Chain A
Amino acid sequence: MNAFSMDTSRIATVTRTELKQLIGAKDFWIPMVFLGGLFFLFIPTVLLLSITSVGDIGAVQQISQALEVLPQTAQDAIKGDSEAGKASYALAVYLFAPIAVVVPLTISTAVGAATIVGERERGTGEFLAHSPADVKEIYIGKLIASLLPGYATTIVGFGLYSLIVNTIVGPEVGGWFFPTREWWVLMLWVVPPFLALTLSIVLRLSARVKSTAAAQQASGLVSLPLIMVAYSQSTGALFGAGRATVYIGAIAWFMAGIGLWRGMKAVNRSRLLGVADGI
């Protein structure tokens, strides 16, 4: 069986079962919902309200100074008649870019790190190793199951974030303005491949290490540079890098493809059983 002749129903089965277990793990998803709520709802609401409603002059001045370091195209795109309006617009559109990267990568990495080594630790890898499912199907199913919680949290959080910024900042800049075109590109074109690339590496690690704790530690070290790269690229995307953003996304998709291909080759039944040399 090659990578292009996989049984999609089995992939869906693996994904569905992984997600079912995740839903049952309240000790996992409650902190993750809290993380999303903190980054997408709480922090933006507090900061934006402090500028628009409370009128924190000091904060407005600091943000206004910070705006001067933005590229000219980004500065030109800032809307608002007042200093507070411009500051809140800049905060909403530019400065919260990391949340779109940090939240999905953190959640998905946490899920992905445990996924294969967890099968070994529970002994369920034995069941999968003896099943007719191809290891590539298991790998892809688990990768999708790791990707979905992070990306779904981000999409939901993004929707709520849009409501918040439009409600709080909208009146200051002449109506609803969010999401901007750059945010759409970021969410749909830039974030997903970085997420897939990170997960392809995290799952390979998960297949190779001896314990979930080791997997999470190693995943943290590997995903940190990727988070930084994704952060800088997404910031650039929001700062109006224009067509370059499309190219960056394309390169990220290409690298994600290579990562997935290599990841599929790295996972085998010996690793599910935990008897591969080196485990």
Chain B
Amino acid sequence: MRSVSRSFGDVRALDSFDLVVPRQSITVLLGPNGAGKTTAVRMITGALDPHSGSVAVFGLDPAVEGEDVRRRCGVVSAKPALYDRLSGWDNLSYAAELYGLGRHAHDRIRAAAARFGIEHALDQQVGGYSTGMKTRLALSRSVLHEPELLLFDEPTSGLDPESSHAVLELIKEMRRDGSTVVMCTHLLLEAEGLAEQVVVLDRGTDLISGTPSELTSRYWPGVVVKLDAEDRASLDRLDGHPGVLTYQRDGIATVQLDDVAQLPDLVAELVAAGVRLTRVEPHQPTLEDLYFAVRAEHREDAA
């Protein structure tokens, strides 16, 4: 997607949004509610047309060759989008027929349902399913036609932690099987360990994108260490200390060192100065840290 903009009335859902999704990877679109993640997914399949900019999926324009694009995409939306009055089987069968699976439909339905552990409930009416079962059925439906690109919009929405974990494991498994996955979420924890590329969105704009390690090293080029002491103010001596790139004390102190080898000397120096340390912890920045750092930076820029 290049410089894509889309408005709904006065609301600008996407604003010069750029997105490049590498093949056979998991790209996570990270952003608060209303950031434009769902609109981006809808643009990818051609369910919505951009007002400006261009979209190319598999080299095709979804606005023109939407049917070909949609045949190669599998989508799980934030709501499972299932027909409650139909059985699980009928829901899958409906999708199989719309995707033109023909004589393969029966086998594919069985295989997809088995893959997500929902085959025992296929004869039941979906209205009686639990939220977790509905998500599993929606996931089964998304892979029926063996799509090359999977688009998951908040796939763990409404699930308990155990079911969420199972769904994320299934997404990893699909990636291992060679699929390309784009997943939208506002839950930073679930993106952790899953994302191979992260795109942080806010107000329809991509604030930053890259692999998690690229992005964290961009924001935290040094080694991050968290320190605490009985007298926290005594840690302030680290501010401006040689080898300390940044110092911040918000309760506990967070410092960035240009080299982790400095840490033992630094600790020895503090102890020698009478600082009674209670915590010294090298810290690997998480996506959550990244997310808030990015948003804070852009808020400052906007101000």
Contacts and interface: CB of A to CB of B under 8 A. Distances in A.
A273 interface: yes
21 contacts: A10-B98, A13-B97, A17-B94, A21-B83, A21-B85, A24-B86, A122-B81, A124-B83, A126-B79, A127-B141, A129-B45, A130-B45, A130-B73, A131-B70, A131-B98, A133-B98, A269-B46, A269-B48, A270-B48, A272-B47, A275-B42
Contact of A1 (B42, B67, B100, B141): B67
Interface residues of B, number: 32
Nearest to A275: B8
B9 interface: yes
A265 interface: no
B95 to A, nearest CB: 7
Given A13-B98, A127-B77, 14 more contacts: A17-B94, A122-B84, A123-B79, A124-B82, A126-B47, A126-B81, A127-B82, A127-B141, A130-B42, A130-B47, A132-B67, A272-B47, A275-B42, A277-B8
Interface string B106-123: 000000000000000000
Contacts of B82: 124, 127
Given A122-B84, A273-B42, A277-B8, A130 B70 contact: yes
Interface string A262-279: 000000011011010100
Interface in A85-131: 122-127, 129-131
Given A124-B81, A275-B48, A132 B100 contact: yes
A132 B95 CA distance: 10
A266 B255 CA distance: 60
A interface: dominant SS = helix
Contacts of B125: 24
B247 interface: no
A14 B97 CA distance: 9
A25 interface: yes
Given A10-B97, A127-B77, A130-B70, A273 B47 contact: yes
A20 interface: yes
Contacts of A131: 70, 95, 98-99
A9 interface: yes
Q: Interface residues of A toward B: which range?
A: 20 to 34
A270 B45 CA distance: 12
Contacts of B146: none
A17 B48 contact: no
A127 B73 contact: no
B81 to A, nearest CB: 4
A30 B125 CA distance: 20
Interface in B211-245: none
Between A10, A25, A275, the greatest number of chain B beta carbons within 10 A of the residue's beta carbon is seen for A275
Contacts of B175: none
Nearest to A24: B85
Contacts of A130: 42, 45, 47, 70, 73, 75, 77, 151
A123 B77 contact: yes
